[in-house]
Copies of this chain bind each other. A is one copy, B any other.
């Protein structure tokens, strides 16, 4: 979908019952996705389609994603780019992702006030202790008025059991941080006008809503009709 999925709503975590709260220490890591992540990415996008009740529009396959997201000539941040957020109960072992020439992973320790029950832990496991939590897909856009590029965030998605814990903010902040690093002028995305929780969250993150603009889309047969146009 041409849209960032709704982020964690900014509601507080439920109060613990009587005993001391059980905490969940988590080590998190944001890194560039690789072709090896495509099966997980495909499942995450499908979950997003289910969440948005738009599975009838979902036609991506693992092979279409692999061919278009990881073109050999495309360079991260200058083309379609995907950050994957992973979590682990133990510190991340040193691995090849740490020496990626385009992006040094961002790691962070968080201590959640409630335990996480992950019914899909096996499905989204990358190594023994590491699980995929969510992703953000973005790519450069351009402002002629600024005379410089920005980033457009196409998708932001966090798996259900990890929502409302700050992970959406973590992913979006990583994109903003990268934009600043590259001297880019803007980060933009879209939100559904009825999604008041998401709008509130984005405004708290410092974003403005451009209420007057509407998206126009030429697709399907209407687009194909231009194939032979002169």
Contacts and interface: CB of A to CB of B under 8 A. Distances in A.
A60 B144 contact: yes
A102 interface: no
Contact of A223 (B74, B79, B179): B179
Contacts of A217: 186-188, 207-210
Interface stretch (A87-95, A112-120, A134-142): A134-142
A54 B146 CA distance: 12
A3 to B, nearest CB: 6
A214 B186 contact: no
A60 B73 CA distance: 29
A16 B173 CA distance: 60
Nearest to A184: B223
A12 B193 CA distance: 36
Contacts of A149: 68, 80
A96 interface: no
Contacts of A137: 142, 144
B210 A143 contact: no
Contact of A49 (B145, B155, B210, B214): B145
Interface string A204-222: 0111111111111111001
A149 B142 CA distance: 16
A154 interface: yes
B212 A194 contact: yes
Contacts of A224: 180
The 6 closest A-B pairs by CB, nearest first: A60-B147, A206-B222, A64-B147, A176-B226, A180-B227, A210-B215
28 contacts: A1-B143, A1-B145, A2-B141, A48-B144, A57-B146, A60-B146, A60-B148, A65-B144, A73-B75, A137-B142, A137-B144, A139-B140, A144-B155, A173-B226, A176-B223, A179-B223, A180-B224, A185-B223, A188-B218, A189-B215, A190-B214, A192-B212, A205-B218, A205-B222, A207-B218, A208-B217, A209-B215, A210-B216
Given A80-B149, A207-B217, 15 more contacts: A54-B145, A60-B145, A64-B146, A65-B144, A68-B142, A68-B149, A79-B140, A173-B226, A180-B223, A187-B218, A188-B217, A188-B218, A191-B216, A208-B218, A210-B215
